[in-house]
């Protein structure tokens, strides 16, 4: 009797496994039908060389940064650059039969010459129509017609748990296919204010960037853009830009060559349960205003620090991450209504939305060069002072640029080349001399807090000084 039960149990297990195997999706038809619209993107870049060895790229500073020339001047002591061989950078996909292609901005923005390789082995030199670093979207074009193109889906209809696939060129292996499921929607990532990412467990690696994320209908629902990794390779967390966000950017790049975004001039933070309770709110929805830019649209409208923004232009602000996306998608000069929670009551204010400076303005590489960086100080930082013109372009009144750094407490704490140090503890940073004097007054074992601007984000970075730091 027992042996019969064992046989029956094994039979049922095998039958269940067989049924489950038959229920697994078949991706072959999707790949055969839509894979031809996926392209490999490679580039020729200028590199600095001596004795046959290529010097490191300027770390963390793209060519159209206002401070690129600083680093180029100080980190390239050898005057003779040379052209490197084409190398695979990433992936992309054709969105129109006349040659328009979407990819990631970080794939093409530093390239001198972009080459697109089609599935049928044809190669074309592409024109960069425009890039948008804030969403990491780039639109490029090749001179070709009657090309296969993808079909756009609606990311709003994606459900967590449904199957999706990626096609791209990880590590240069062209037209590789990987599959997985949607892990989450509307993910907010650090310093990525304008994109509600699609999180998946699809295997994505370097070279997949810019490639399409397909649903099971063969529709593109996203652009594979980032991974979360402690090793540099895939660890189960991949992030894609929703295709509707990408096409809105592409339309503006195609029409104007740049992106126009709304802004109101506030710094915000998340409303926690404890903060909601202290402000008398029933829930933790909204975005808490930490500071208001003097003379900015929000200041003119009467928005105050400690206001909690609950609605913007009739759109609910559920989390603080919602507000930059909603404001950014609002046309400059539009007059909108903001609902705020202030002093225990709902209030309504009207604001005329301003415009965020485009990358071309905020990061114009042709800005005048500043002074040479000071020698590395106690923190291992090489700093330079910023010109009045640069301050105006970057919308700051003071600060020092981090041009270079040595390994040490600052790098371990999260300071990066290209950061702008605005404050030291409670004081504004106005000169290198002042910064070094403040630094010299700090005793070993004490904490300091540096107010740092990085792109559109401003945050405090803390670190504890030790005697060893004086040796840097």
Report, as residue numbers or ranges, the catalytic residues: 106, 136, 209
Beta strands in 5-84 (DSSP E): 38-44, 46-50, 53-54, 81-83
Between CA 408 and CA 29 the distance in angstroms is: 53
Q: Dihedral sign, CA of 141, 60, 191, 166?
A: positive
Dihedral over alpha carbons 111, 115, 118, 123 (to 10 degrees)? 180
Closest C-alpha to 358, from 141, 139, 130, 108: 130
Q: What are the beta bridge partners of residue 281? A: none
Between CA 357 and CA 90 the distance in angstroms is: 28
Between CA 125 and CA 116 the distance in angstroms is: 6
DSSP class of residue 109 equals: T
CB count, 10 Å around CB of 100? 18
CB count, 10 Å around CB of 141? 17
For residue 433, count CB atoms less than 10 angstroms from its CB and return exposed for 0-12, middle for 13-18, buried for 19 or more.
exposed
Q: Dihedral sign, CA of 217, 222, 227, 233?
A: positive
Between CA 111 and CA 63 the distance in angstroms is: 9
Between CA 79 and CA 73 the distance in angstroms is: 10
Between CA 452 and CA 472 the distance in angstroms is: 21
Between CA 454 and CA 445 the distance in angstroms is: 27
Beta strands in 108-175 (DSSP E): 113-117, 123-132, 137-141, 151-152, 163-168
Contacts of 388 (CB under 8 A, 6+ apart): none
Closest C-alpha to 78, from 32, 100, 46: 46
Beta strands in 250-399 (DSSP E): 261-263, 266-270, 287-292, 308-312, 315-316, 335-342, 345-352, 354-356, 381-385
Dihedral over alpha carbons 407, 411, 415, 416 (to 10 degrees)? 60
Beta strands in 51-122 (DSSP E): 53-54, 81-83, 87-94, 100-103, 113-117
């Amino acid at each position: 009797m027992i042996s019969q039960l064992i046989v029956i149990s094994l039979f049922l297990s095998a039958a269940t496994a067989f049924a489950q195997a038959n229920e697994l999706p078949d991706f072959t038809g999707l790949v055969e039908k839509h894979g031809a619209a996926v392209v490999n993107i490679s580039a020729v870049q200028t590199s600095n060389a001596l004795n046959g060895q290529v010097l490191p790229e300027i770390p963390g500073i793209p060519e159209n940064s206002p401070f690129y020339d600083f680093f180029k001047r100080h980190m390239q002591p050898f005057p003779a650059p040379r052209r490197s061989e084409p190398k695979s950078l990433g992936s992309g996909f054709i969105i129109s039969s006349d040659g328009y292609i979407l990819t990631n901005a970080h794939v093409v923005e530093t390239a001198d010459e972009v080459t697109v390789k089609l599935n049928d082995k044809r190669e074309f030199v592409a024109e960069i129509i425009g890039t948008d670093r804030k969403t990491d979207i780039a639109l490029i074009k090749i001179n070709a017609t009657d090309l296969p193109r993808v079909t756009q889906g609606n990311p709003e209809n994606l459900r967590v748990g449904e199957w999706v696939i990626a096609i791209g060129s990880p590590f240069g292996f062209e037209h590789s296919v990987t599959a997985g499921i949607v892990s989450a929607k509307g993910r907010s990532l650090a310093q990525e204010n304008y994109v509600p990412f699609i999180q998946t467990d699809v295997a994505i690696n370097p070279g997949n960037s810019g490639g399409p994320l397909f649903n099971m209908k063969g529709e593109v629902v996203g652009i594979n853009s980032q991974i979360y990794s402690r090793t540099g390779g895939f660890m189960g967390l991949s992030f894609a830009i929703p295709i509707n966000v990408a096409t809105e950017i592409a339309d503006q790049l195609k029409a104007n060559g740049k992106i126009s975004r709304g802004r109101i001039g506030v710094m915000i933070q998340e409303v926690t349960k404890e903060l909601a309770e202290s402000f008398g709110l029933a829930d933790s929805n909204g975005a808490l205003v930490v500071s208001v830019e003097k003379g900015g649209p929000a200041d003119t409208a009467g928005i105050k620090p400690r206001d909690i923004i609950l609605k913007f232009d009739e759109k609910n602000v559920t989390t603080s991450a919602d507000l930059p996306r909603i404001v950014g998608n609002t046309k400059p000069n539009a007059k909108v209504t903001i609902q705020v929670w202030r002093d225990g009551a709902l209030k309504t204010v009207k604001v005329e939305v301003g415009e965020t400076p485009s990358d071309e303005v905020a990061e114009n590489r042709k800005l005048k060069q500043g002074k040479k960086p000071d020698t590395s100080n106690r923190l291992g930082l090489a700093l330079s002072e910023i010109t009045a013109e640069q301050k105006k372009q970057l919308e700051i009144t003071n600060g020092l640029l981090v041009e270079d750094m040595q390994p040490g407490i600052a790098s371990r704490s999260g300071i990066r080349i290209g950061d702008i140090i605005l404050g030291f503890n409670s004081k504004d940073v106005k000169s290198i001399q002042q910064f070094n004097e403040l630094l010299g007054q700090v005793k070993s074992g004490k904490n300091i807090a540096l107010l740092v601007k990085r792109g559109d984000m401003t945050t405090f970075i803390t670190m504890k000084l030790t005697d060893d730091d004086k040796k840097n």
